[in-house]
Structure 1
Amino acid sequence: MGSAVERTDEHVKEYLTYRGFTTTLKHLDSEIKADKEKGFRVDKIIDQLQQFVQTFDLFGLKDYWLYLDRRLFCRLEDVYRSTVNKLRTSLYRYYVINTIQKGNLEKTQEFFQKQALELQGQVEWRDWFILPFIPSPEQNPAFSPYFSRQWADTFLVSLHNFLSVLFQYMHILDFDAEVQKMTSLTDENEQLRQLLFALQTESRDQRDRDEMPHHKLPAYVQNMDRLGDTEDLVSSQRAVSTATTPSRNFFSTFLPQGRRTPVKPAQVMTGSSPTQGAVSRKDPPTSQVKASWGRIVNSKLRFFEIRSCQLNSLTFGETIYFVFVLTCYLQIPEKRGEAGDVEPLAETSGEIPDSSSNSRSCGGGTEGGGLPAEQPFIKLSQEEYGEHHSSIMHCRVDCSGRRVASLDVDGVIKVWSFNPIMQTKATIMSKSSLLSLEWATKPDRLLLLGSGVGTVRLYDTDTKKNLYEMNIDETHPRILSLACSPSGSSFVCSAAALSRSGSVESVSRLPATVSGQLLLWDTKTVKQQLQFSLEPDPVAINCTAFNHNGNLLVTGAADGVIRLFDMQRYESAMSWRAHDGEVYSVEFSYDENTVFSIGEDGKFIQWNIHRCGVKQSEQPLPQDATGPFVLSGYSGYKQVQVPRGRLFAFDSEGQHVLTCSSSGGVIYKLSNKEPALESVLLLGGHKAPVVTVDWCSAVDCGTCLTASMDGKIKLSTLLAQKA
């Protein structure tokens, strides 16, 4: 932090000198000299405090500490207040001990006279008022430890470390990070310009229009495709990369999707020899292989330098792992070909050790005569968040990927962050039961909280205050599901009536006969806009999800019916019976031409939204992935929880899905053939059944969240290895 401030000051001085603002430059120099924060240099702050102690300046010492408290310490959370108080107590004791060691008893008595009103009520100072009247306090057992050099050094080191950590995580100045960000953005823009020029010279493939099914969707939705609607450039880039890029190496996973440029294909020729197969190539000379490897290594090093700024948030173990992989890559292993020429090993040879034993065992097999297929993900680390004391109901990451909100069956909500460290930001407790939560999209610091008494609260996680509390409907008090539109201007709310017994169960679903409402609320005016028509009967809606632009809304209900709503006309576009029993979880696919759902019948089904009720694939899942979830205890005790949160989540490209299991999350690869799901990675780490999951891809390293019935939430960091 101190070096960043000094560099920033130098840039400001150069700018003022260039502009000729000499008077402003003089004022800046004078203010820098009188800066009490010392440019966030911890050593200078410690020196200033020691100067006050050595000169017996009690007033200056108190005033400087109060300034640090107002400027820095007040920004900390309440849990660190005790640490600040202990450091202040030690600082005052350090001052008193120094006055006695220097033989200045007048300053010792002055300290207790001026600080009597403040310190007499504190337990840690109760025995210290007799200090000036003891002949040899350094020999008294109660005070002798404070006269040792070891105690003084320990205090100064503790204060130095506390201030260092404080400055590191306050992010007062991010000048270096902004410079690195601008550099990476400049490189990305240049690559995108080159890619756009290449794409403009190629003709786009015509879409397959052989089948034009009959459906009820409006015209602007009939040909809607997320890949072709709003991300034409990205889809074209994917097409070029898929057609022209050979197997990728490990270092390409450092780059986000937008920065991966296509590589020219290797020259191949059809072989006539039966031993060569369909494709063969001539082994290159050793010199060409060496030169080729040199170009590859140099390019990877450049990419590594561009992305190195994003490795700052990794733990020590993860950093060691990256350094190990870099070392293995630069060694350039070689093997002998049949003709005696030296040939480099393939980039996906699998020789790089995986951080997860599961990823090595899943989806095995060989390809092309020997080398195992590269796994899609590497599990870098797995951390645990254990602040909850009961089973989790919901666990969601916000749009920016910076914060997580988790809700347990006791109605306690924890808002916490995991980058750079796992830390609780806010705790929300309510007198009434809480049943649902959802992050707002704009701004992403707001939380929507649905209760069991017919209210929805809008909570600000930064100020830790309730902004609004909306009364939904007294006849339908249970808020089962919330979904905020991508624009952030509105949200839908699913409200259901009480069960026939009138009880408010915290973990069980309502029976299918219980009525419900689906309402649209305006976020800015905090008023209800309309009530959707639920046909054939007004039934309780269990789950809701918007598409990427908010034009479509899909819902899953307790009667087993999936309903698709047109959000421009505010009417139902189509509906079909999807499951035998309730629909627990529903989501749009990545291209948004299909919908995935999990129901009470234990099936994971993909539906075509252009052909009402037509299945594209169906896959049975084990009970520990769909519920009801059972946690067995002592003496035959069993805790049963019916699904309420999200049961599956997709990665950033919609090619892999994360589901629940009895011991942790399971990642499957989606396939167009049978079976529809192929297990590729077991995350593990749980001792109780996982009841809800989420997958955050806002950063390069994807983060999987798995929450279980014992209140534990596992945060698994994955590194993608895409072919």
Structure 2
Amino acid sequence: MGSAVERTDEHVREYLIYRGFTSTLKHLDGDIKADKEKGFRVDKIIDQLQQFVHSFDLFGLKEYWLYLDRRLFCRLEDVYRTTVNKLRTSLYRYYVINTIQKGNLEKTQEFFHKQASELQGQAEWRDWFILPFIPAPEQNPTFCPYFSRQWADTFLVSLHNFLSVLFQCMHILQLKLHFDAEVQRTTSLAEENEQLRQLLFTLQMESRDQRDEDEMVHHKLPSYVQNMDLLGDTELDSMTSQRTVSTATTPPRNFFSTFLPQGRRTPGKTPQFTSTSSPRQIAIGRKDPTTNPVRMRQVIPQSQLSTNQSTNHTTHPRHKRIQDHEKERKELLSKPSSQGEAEPVTETFSKPLESSSSNSRSGLGEGERGDLSEQPFIKLSQEEYGEHHSSIMHCRVDCSGRRVASLDVDGVIKVWSFNPIMQTKATVMSKSPLLSLEWATKPDRLLLLGSGVGTVRLYDTEAKKNLYEINIDETHPRILSLACSPSGSSFVCSAAALSRSGSCDSIPRPVSGQLVLWDTKTVKQQLQFSLEPEPVAINCTAFNHNGNLLVTGAADGLIRLFDMQQYESAMSWRAHSGEVYSVEFSSDENTVFSIGEDGKFIQWNIHRCGVKQSEQVLPQDATGPFVLSGYSGYKQVQVPRGQLFAFDSEGQHVLTCSSTGGLIYRLTNGELDVESMMSLGGHKAPVVTVDWCSAVDCGICLTASMDGKIKLSTLLSQKS
């Protein structure tokens, strides 16, 4: 309800600006700022009540509750009046207990003096008038439960749930506040259209394959393939890659094929040949690689069309044509060709054809081990984004899976898309060094950029402009990490002081830091978290699915778990001997995974503080520091900045870094199954950050390396 109201307010504002009703817009902004219902946001209402309690504002507390009663509670049925009265009584008791805990007995006596006429006739308040005169009320059996943290939390949660249900059941205006239902309906229609498109495409492919078997296609052959017509699809791919200098090293991505389920894919058909056909009479027709796989077609010159066409189907059965084809292929590969243009092809296929063909058709990259059936995924394609000219620090996909934002050590940010083609959408360059980035959740086109001079910018990737820039703290200028709440209403910013060496590129030892929560609507600081035992630099942050929990990893080796409803630390424990580089929630959110400077990949139980569920040591090329060697003994060393591991949509597999590409492990009870490891490969420099997007039909894995190259691997799960 709250999000729908906010969106409606934005639409009304846009309409007033479009119509030029500036005076009405000013009144609207004033009314929104003075809105006591806080846009039907329950968290804001709870915050307002707590503010009255902690500031000992009894008059404001009574007036605000009376407003809620007149505006909301009076519309409920009589059966809920008892619940409202109980919540009001608990709210007043919460106020009285707070005055005693803060040692302000004057406010305690003031409460009973002003409320005596109202409360003395109520049985539940009969014993409470003696409270100001008891020396140690927190030890009294009657009042002891109300001084516990458990009672306060139970009351606030009950009030929160009551208001949430109340707003959920409110009457929806004719102005269409139920945007969520509209979005859900639109999404379901889009999914249905996509399924129908998949079915249509599959039927078209089957019809085209059947037509290809019956038709004879005529076209002129390039000179260098006239003697290569009897080779298979894999041999043709290798031959053309050597003959055509301009061919890209990475094959183009088959976009439409990613929408087909594994069982419905149409493999390349075995070509049919006649015994009377010569190498000059056969050719392989290649279609657009972005739409169809390579397919072999038969071509017969016009001079022999009349004679061969009438005898092919009657004289030679299918099995005899296949036998003749195998015989001619063996002869072609064993004897050097007499034509000069065909000689290099014999050398190209000096390796066994069977292994070469299997690798090509399976789609597995170089360095992948194990049989195809043992791999958890099939790598459909791997593309390269090479617009960066220095090492990558961060590479993240937005929550919708449409855009990628990548940041290099030179401070250049590229915003690019990969569906249906890889294309750069925006380039951001900054005078001040940029150290971190994060996608906003609502709307997902916004990008948070953290600098090395204490500023955070909100950048609109569609309008290609900065919406605003905020200053965090001059004493902590290095913005190490940013995390946006799933609701999109706030974001967490981790800022750190300069390292003792004065460098912004490394942290030789733990330095001072702070963790701050900002409101994205008002662009104001909400609060600063307490970092115990001392303020320290926070390297990584992550929210759970609803934003109620925040986990952080710090330079002192501690993992801290924050309760975002109470805005305080719920627990913390020593996780690594050294810095914590990367931390994430598991799929069920009962555990937390972390990678640290000690090279360990550990799973922690968040219900039992500091209890390990699994631990595994990773190689150095998966945890850093990352080293790239150059000429004349030059070495480039990079401390981990971005995400070091990422999970698939079901949380059963994890993607990590390596020196040659990403590595995918299966998670078994939180431990990495080395036997089922799959290598994505493709890199010539160490991979420093990864990301896994499951928002599209096929999983998209991003691996970014120190040479500025980003590999985008499209995976298809082999699960039945």
Code of the aligned partner of 2:478: R
With 670-679 and 611-620 compared, the bigger mean Cα shift is at 670-679
Q: CA deviation at 1:721?
A: 1.6
- Give SS of 2:695's match: coil
> How far apart, in 2, do the equivalents of 1:422 and 1:448 lie?
23
Deviations 1:374-403 (A, max 9, x none): 532110111111111110000000111111
Give 1:598's aligned residue: 595
Give 2:700's aligned residue: 703
> How far apart, in 2, do the equivalents of 1:611 and 1:596 lie?
14
Give 2:364's aligned residue: 356
Deviations 1:81-126 (A, max 9, x none): xxxxxxxxxxxxxxxxxxxxxxxxxxxxxxxxxxxxxxxxxxxxxx
Deviations 1:9-41 (A, max 9, x none): xxxxxxxxxxxxxxxxxxxxxxxxxxxxxxxxx
Change (3 A) 1:315 1:309: farther
Q: CA deviation at 1:511?
A: 1.9
Q: CA deviation at 1:219?
A: 8.0
Give 1:499's aligned residue: 499
> How far apart, in 2, do the equivalents of 1:319 and 1:383 lie?
15
Change (3 A) 1:432 1:462: same
Give 2:665's aligned residue: 668
Change (3 A) 1:316 1:450: closer
Code of the aligned partner of 2:435: L
Give 2:608's aligned residue: 611
Change (3 A) 1:259 1:442: closer
Identical positions, percent: 78
Q: CA deviation at 1:468?
A: 0.5
**Would the aligned equivalents of 1:544 and 1:554 in 2 still touch at CA under 8 Å?**
yes
Q: CA deviation at 1:316?
A: 6.9
The answer on 1:554 being equivalent to 2:544 is: no
Give 1:449's aligned residue: 449
- Give SS of 2:592's match: strand
The answer on 1:490 being equivalent to 2:487 is: no
- Give SS of 1:483's match: strand
**Would the aligned equivalents of 2:603 and 2:670 in 1 still touch at CA under 8 Å?**
no
**Would the aligned equivalents of 2:552 and 2:583 in 1 still touch at CA under 8 Å?**
yes
Give 1:417's aligned residue: 417
**Would the aligned equivalents of 2:558 and 2:576 in 1 still touch at CA under 8 Å?**
yes
> How far apart, in 1, do the equivalents of 2:496 and 2:611 lie?
29
Code of the aligned partner of 2:621: D
Code of the aligned partner of 1:326: R
> How far apart, in 2, do the equivalents of 1:435 and 1:601 lie?
23
**Would the aligned equivalents of 1:670 and 1:678 in 2 still touch at CA under 8 Å?**
no
> How far apart, in 2, do the equivalents of 1:589 and 1:395 lie?
21
Change (3 A) 1:354 1:548: same
Query: Which of 535, 538, 541 is the aligned partner of 2:535?
Result: 538
- Give SS of 2:561's match: strand
**Would the aligned equivalents of 1:664 and 1:684 in 2 still touch at CA under 8 Å?**
yes
Q: CA deviation at 1:672?
A: 1.6
Give 1:475's aligned residue: 475
Q: CA deviation at 1:426?
A: 0.7
- Give SS of 2:362's match: coil
**Would the aligned equivalents of 1:659 and 1:693 in 2 still touch at CA under 8 Å?**
yes
Q: CA deviation at 1:485?
A: 0.2
Give 1:402's aligned residue: 402
Query: Which of 178, 188, 199 is the aligned partner of 1:305?
Result: 199
Change (3 A) 1:659 1:304: same
Give 1:520's aligned residue: 517
**Would the aligned equivalents of 2:365 and 2:681 in 1 still touch at CA under 8 Å?**
no
Change (3 A) 1:675 1:716: closer
**Would the aligned equivalents of 2:379 and 2:714 in 1 still touch at CA under 8 Å?**
yes
> How far apart, in 2, do the equivalents of 1:621 and 1:600 lie?
11
The answer on 1:326 being equivalent to 2:334 is: no
**Would the aligned equivalents of 2:382 and 2:713 in 1 still touch at CA under 8 Å?**
yes
Give 1:147's aligned residue: none
Query: Which of 649, 652, 656 is the aligned partner of 1:655?
Result: 652
- Give SS of 1:463's match: coil
The answer on 1:438 being equivalent to 2:438 is: yes
Aligned length: 404
Change (3 A) 1:310 1:692: farther
> How far apart, in 2, do the equivalents of 1:656 and 1:616 lie?
17
- Residue pairs, 1:280-319, within 5 angstroms: 305=199, 317=254
- Give SS of 1:555's match: strand
Give 1:694's aligned residue: 691
Q: CA deviation at 1:616?
A: 0.7
> How far apart, in 2, do the equivalents of 1:655 and 1:361 lie?
20
**Would the aligned equivalents of 2:402 and 2:417 in 1 still touch at CA under 8 Å?**
yes
Give 2:93's aligned residue: none
**Would the aligned equivalents of 2:202 and 2:264 in 1 still touch at CA under 8 Å?**
no
**Would the aligned equivalents of 1:432 and 1:453 in 2 still touch at CA under 8 Å?**
yes
**Would the aligned equivalents of 2:663 and 2:679 in 1 still touch at CA under 8 Å?**
yes
Deviations 1:341-366 (A, max 9, x none): xxxxxxxxx9995211569733x5xx
Deviations 1:391-427 (A, max 9, x none): 0000000111111100000111011111111111111
Q: CA deviation at 1:456?
A: 0.3
**Would the aligned equivalents of 1:541 and 1:555 in 2 still touch at CA under 8 Å?**
yes
Code of the aligned partner of 2:684: K
Change (3 A) 1:471 1:308: farther
Change (3 A) 1:307 1:555: farther
> How far apart, in 2, do the equivalents of 1:351 and 1:383 lie?
17
Change (3 A) 1:465 1:304: closer
Code of the aligned partner of 2:616: Q
**Would the aligned equivalents of 1:707 and 1:714 in 2 still touch at CA under 8 Å?**
yes
**Would the aligned equivalents of 2:365 and 2:679 in 1 still touch at CA under 8 Å?**
no
- Give SS of 1:635's match: helix
> How far apart, in 2, do the equivalents of 1:220 and 1:357 lie?
57
**Would the aligned equivalents of 1:479 and 1:493 in 2 still touch at CA under 8 Å?**
yes
Deviations 1:648-692 (A, max 9, x none): 000111100000000100001001286555543100101100000
Change (3 A) 1:510 1:470: farther
> How far apart, in 1, do the equivalents of 2:580 and 2:252 lie?
40
Deviations 1:167-193 (A, max 9, x none): xxxxxxxxxxxxxxxxxxxxxxxxxxx
Code of the aligned partner of 2:420: P
> How far apart, in 1, do the equivalents of 2:674 and 2:263 lie?
33
The runs of at least 4 consecutive aligned structure 1 residues that moved more than 3 Å come to 215-222, 301-304, 306-311, 314-331, 350-353, 357-360, 673-679
Change (3 A) 1:580 1:325: same
**Would the aligned equivalents of 1:554 and 1:562 in 2 still touch at CA under 8 Å?**
yes
Q: CA deviation at 1:221?
A: 14
> How far apart, in 1, do the equivalents of 2:689 and 2:602 lie?
18
Q: Aligned-residue CA RMSD in angstroms?
A: 3.5
**Would the aligned equivalents of 1:359 and 1:680 in 2 still touch at CA under 8 Å?**
no
**Would the aligned equivalents of 1:452 and 1:504 in 2 still touch at CA under 8 Å?**
no
**Would the aligned equivalents of 1:359 and 1:377 in 2 still touch at CA under 8 Å?**
no
Give 2:107's aligned residue: none
- Give SS of 1:610's match: coil
> How far apart, in 1, do the equivalents of 2:204 and 2:494 lie?
40
> How far apart, in 2, do the equivalents of 1:428 and 1:320 lie?
33
Give 1:230's aligned residue: none
- Give SS of 2:632's match: helix
- Give SS of 1:534's match: coil
Q: CA deviation at 1:722?
A: 1.6
Q: CA deviation at 1:327?
A: 3.7
Deviations 1:505-561 (A, max 9, x none): 23x23521x110000000000000000000001000000000000000000000000
Code of the aligned partner of 1:419: N
Code of the aligned partner of 2:199: E
Code of the aligned partner of 2:423: Q
Structure 2 residue runs without a partner (length 5+)? 1-148, 158-187, 206-250, 271-357
Q: CA deviation at 1:609?
A: 0.4
